[in-house]
Structure 1
Amino acid sequence: MRRADRTLGVARGLGWFSIGLGVVELLAPRALARGLGLRGQEGLIAGYGAREIATGIGILASRDPTPWIWGRVAGDALDLGTLATGLGRRRGGAGVALAAVAGVTLLDVLCARALSSRRERQPVRSFADRRGMPKTPGQMRGAASDFEVPKDFRIPEALRPWTSAA
């Protein structure tokens, strides 16, 4: 298996992980807040769940998941900051969660860097020689000047093209 295929496979796995984590955060924010020592932060946890689901869908739906993986890295930074606020509280599992998120963050950063380096190696297409027209402007000038709307078209006379012959 090629390295690029493995990296894309890891990215897809992270997409599914993101969706799964997001569903848990959306469906059980109160239980997570209690377990992490973050009581009162249920709305924030649910918001993080929505972010995780959106990022996961973006990773799985896009042809190039690189920006979405970098989005996961940014989300991990938010998660780490939020979990750090729960470290000083008693009976919170924030320390364990912090270690787990740090591990996933490392995987996200490695995957994002691998995808970014792959993206940089691809040649950039130049469309500078394209103009989108079949002929030069000089060749096309006046090409439709002899067009006449057929009389059997149902167009009011006031909307018919004006001609100098009338």
Structure 2
Amino acid sequence: MNMLSKFGNLSRRPSDPKVVKSGPKALAPSDMVARKLGWFSIALGMVELIASERIARALGIPGKEGVIRAYGARELSSGILSLSADRQSGLWSRVAGDGLDIGTLLWAFRHDNPKRDNVGLALVLVAGVTLIDLLTAQKVSARHARGRRQPQDFSNRSGFPRGLEAVRGLARKDMSSPASQN
């Protein structure tokens, strides 16, 4: 039995899930997909920040480089959050960002856009990633959900294992014993 499984459950509430094992194999498949989506989001965000002009040209929306850079910053933050302990928030922010991306691409999918075919392809790709993001966010949220419960009341606890009455006067007894006179 390793140290984590011995002491991993000490500060947890009885309703919290137990730490049974740790390490890479302890992750559920949805957690592993969440990790990969986090790294994908960071890579995509970097591309959107660095190559916003090329992306705008490829989609036929020149002059929207600032929007693409803002979306890149959003992707970076979503990716970092998806890799953190609060991966549910990161995944749901990815889903919300996908909605923004789809809205922007639908705006660019105009008949007068000479790059309309590129926008259509981008819409299909973003829709596919949105589906993966949505399913992963649902699974991770369900796996790591904590039920709504009342805050625990510790007002009746003293911090002394045998209670306050058992320790009253112990300091005085110690001071008056012969061993403490040395």
What TM-score bracket applies, with the shorter chain setting the length? 0.7 to 0.9
Given the alignment of the two structures, is residue 80 of structure 1 paired with residue 102 of structure 2, yes or no? yes
Deviation at 1:116? Answer: 1.7
Paired letter, 1:96? L
Aligned to 1:25: 48
Given the alignment of the two structures, is residue 69 of structure 1 paired with residue 91 of structure 2, yes or no? yes
Q: Are the equivalent residues in 2 in contact too, given 1:4–1:118 (CA < 8 A)?
A: no
Q: Which runs of 5 or more structure 2 residues have no equivalent in the other structure? A: 1-23, 165-182
* Structure with bigger gyration radius: 1
State the superposition RMSD in angstroms: 2.8
Distance in 2, matches of 1:49 and 1:133, equals 52
Q: Which runs of 5 or more structure 1 residues have no equivalent in the other structure? A: 138-166
Give aligned-pair identity as a percent.
44
Given the alignment of the two structures, is residue 129 of structure 1 paired with residue 153 of structure 2, yes or no? yes
Deviation at 1:119? Answer: 2.7
Distance in 1, matches of 2:121 and 2:31, equals 28
Q: Are the equivalent residues in 1 in contact too, given 2:47–2:72 (CA < 8 A)?
A: yes
Task: Name the TM-score, length of structure 1 as normaliser.
Answer: 0.73
Deviations 1:16-73 (A, max 9, x none): 000000000000100000001111110000000000001101111x223111100000
Moved over 2 A (4+): 1-4, 122-129, 131-137
Deviates more, 1:4-13 or 1:42-51: 4-13
Task: Name the TM-score, length of structure 2 as normaliser.
Answer: 0.67
